[in-house]
Amino acid sequence: VQGSREAILDAYRDVRERLTGRINDLLGHSPQPSG
């Protein structure tokens, strides 16, 4: 099922962005825009 796979990838990307932002916040760096 391709739909569920896209949903998983979307959720994974969201979680990764949150983790990156959290790590940057802990390190004292401002979150950099991707792209």
Q: What is the mean pLDDT of the chain?
A: 86
Q: What's the pTM? A: 0.56
Structurally, how many domains does the chain consist of? Answer: 1
Q: Report yes or no on 35 lying in a domain.
A: no
Host domain of residue 18 = 1-30
Q: Report yes or no on 6 lying in a domain.
A: yes
Give every CB contact of residue 34 below 8 A, 6+ residues apart in sequence.
Answer: 17
Q: Which of 15, 18, 19 is nearest to 7 (CA)?
A: 15
Tell me the percentage of the chain whose pLDDT exceeds 70: 80
**pLDDT digits over 9-25, tens only?**
999 999 999 999 998 88
Q: State both tokens at 23.
A: 């790590």
- Predicted pLDDT of residue 7: 94
Q: Which residues of 1-35 are buried (b: 16+ CB within 10 A; e: fewer)?
A: eeeeeeeeeeeeeeeeeeeeeeeeeeeeeeeeeee
